[in-house]
Amino acid sequence: MAERVIDIRSVDPVELYGVNDAKLEQIRKYFPKLKLIARGQAIRVKGDEKELQRFEKSLDAFISHHSRYGTLTESIIDRIMSKGEEKEEGPQNNDIIVHGNGGLIIRARTVNQARLVESCTKNDMIFAIGPAGTGKTYTAVALAVRALKNKEVRKIILTRPAVEAGENLGFLPGDMKEKLDPYLQPLYDALYDMIQPEKLNYYLENRIVEIAPLAFMRGRTLDNAFVILDEAQNATAAQLKMFLTRMGPSAKFVITGDLTQIDLPKQQPSGLEPALYKVNEIEGVEVIYLDGNDVLRHRLVKRIIEAYDKP
């Protein structure tokens, strides 16, 4: 029987072990033939040499992922154990996207999020397609805030189809921003993570950050702006064509959507999938697909997505 003491000082033990050792217990289930004893910044491992080597390789992958993306969730542990971190390809980008409020560091936390960040440096129009919880909207907002802070654009424009109100918001109380706020709450949540409330309110009042329903984009030229169309699966083909052709010469567009959660009436097809087919070969446009491996919510979210994907 082999025995080894492995130093883990390169990572916070809490990040590796989890609260109440929840992640450690999860890891133990993958190595039932090994005895794992965690003591602060070291793990004592006893067992068969082959299994011990497999454990060391997996542990290296856990620590490498945390170092690269700043996170190690239970879902990520499952993914690494199921297919191996070494099989993941894509940009190895450790750059921080933006510093948020209270010292919050916002960065790509998965391989596909890193691809989205990398694509934004090379392309002016990016489609980020994936299920709920994959960070596509949050990452897009972070990129927009970075562009504004770096003076690469003069404003941020956030838009979303207000499907529930049929794009006719006149009967709701308040101004346009107040009418659309319920539909744009995820974008607000992200913005308040990244911009001080006082400054964000100033930006909103002076239309440096602009909130507008998709229907109100018609006839405009969106230039010197970072523009995010969220929930694009709820836009019709005509609406998407209208939006995509609003792009000014100095604009950056990110379109996010989830093809599995279309809220349009049954007789009204989504325009997102046909748009992806039409723009796929256009230079300067890239489509980034995120999946269950990018989910950073509760580990059950990934399993729910997989369950719904089954026929």
Segment 168-214, tens digit of pLDDT: 545 556 666 666 677 678 788 889 989 988 999 999 999 999 987 88
Interatomic CA distance for residues 89 and 305, integer angstroms: 22
Is pTM, for the whole model, over 0.75?
Answer: no
Interatomic CA distance for residues 12 and 155, integer angstroms: 38
| Residue of higher predicted confidence among 123 and 39 | 123
| Residue of higher predicted confidence among 229 and 91 | 229
Mean pLDDT of 261-268: 84
Whether residue 180 contacts residue 211, with contact meaning beta carbons closer than 8 Å, is answered with yes
In the chain, ranges of CATH 3.30.1370.10 domains: 2-87
Whether residue 100 contacts residue 149, with contact meaning beta carbons closer than 8 Å, is answered with no
> Looking at domain 2-87, what is its CATH homologous superfamily?
K Homology domain, type 1 (3.30.1370.10)
In the chain, ranges of CATH 3.40.50.300 domains: 96-309
Interatomic CA distance for residues 150 and 144, integer angstroms: 10
Whether residue 264 contacts residue 163, with contact meaning beta carbons closer than 8 Å, is answered with yes
Nearest-5° Cα angle at 47, 44 to 48 = 135
What CATH number is given for 96-309 in this structure? Answer: 3.40.50.300
